[in-house]
Structure 1
């Protein structure tokens, strides 16, 4: 199934996409969040669809698309999880997963405008497969247990300010990862039964020009390993978001210019949907993100 949240910022309507039509989940779900995912919400939706009890969302095509999950309690990210991206970053592939955090308020809709941070000269794009956690995940016995803790997958853009990340970081990356709007997510949360998550094409474009073109099969640490590994060091809660790294083809490589006001970035992951962000100057009126 494909879950979505439609409507104005802060007033999104939970919905499910079936055969090109959005159906309103508000009679059976307050939101697409940790409570919904951990309390049998997905199965309730399946039953409602079988019963034909869900009404279509009126005017769905004209509604803003929000992030397909409400604000998570944590956004945990894996760095340099593709060997070619590590190389273009000037690093050797890691022996163990590199972990950094983004603040939950970076999570915004897939097509929301994004501000270039004040004093930024190196805002960068990163198409990434995102994992949404479905139930509390701690000390898993093996990677094989991970799939039982995964609610689904999303397209995510791990936007980064490289100067903040590298030059003024103090040794940590998150300073360059947490500007408002720096995690466009969606359009859909797709359940694992609908995708071959370890063999998905990932692509990005800037102003219509191709940038990244890879597949999740190229990950150094695959999805199941990542969730198991994280569970040895922290507890993931239902609704949390895990970003699994980006392939080569970002501005950090030196092959492309960084993003500037007026640029348009598009990213897409096979089966998970496409995003489009226009970048605006931070001196413009600030958008109030969800």
Structure 2
């Protein structure tokens, strides 16, 4: 099955290729974060990889059988109880079972995030194969309740835009050429949303990464900024001395409503 990636989706690379990329934490407890990181190092790494490979294979199998990521997570875990018990036993002897269970709980959360990425990829592939429905110039991608996005390109094809949700607030992704240097580690910028009657300027959190020869910016939006985009003709990101201006395609209110609700997909006849 072909894999198509959303910029904000978890990397689908397995631990065998890039173990450290797999760890994503839902806790800020320093001890638990440290202990979870140790699972990816010797002497725990082989057992961690064995469990993760097992649940990854089982999770993908369940997804390809029609399960959502939410439905597949626990059955995949139950299919790999031997690997889990072996890992828990070794880690528990080294750091004690209470700490081990907290770290392993975070490992399972990491798996669920990865499984969400796998499910996203499978749904995107299926939607692309059928041909996505559209709202204006925006293609619709209803993944499951809580995960959806719309996608389009600028009229000159230089920029791709995606607006959607991943079980959270709406996010805007822009992929294209940067007019100036992008500072590594830069996390704040001013977003200008320019419409015929006014300009809304807001300090926003940003992240970015290379995308081939381009840059992909990720910008969390509040619902108010999402609504403002329906009136936008262009937007700009200002950070330091660098200003990137983007022509913004017309975003229908129906697309905003789709992102706001992020409904479960309807069967297609």
TM-score, normalization by structure 2: 0.29
Q: RCO (CA 8 Å, sep 6+): is it higher in 1 or 2? A: 1
Q: Which has the larger radius of gyration?
A: 2
Bigger share in helix? 2
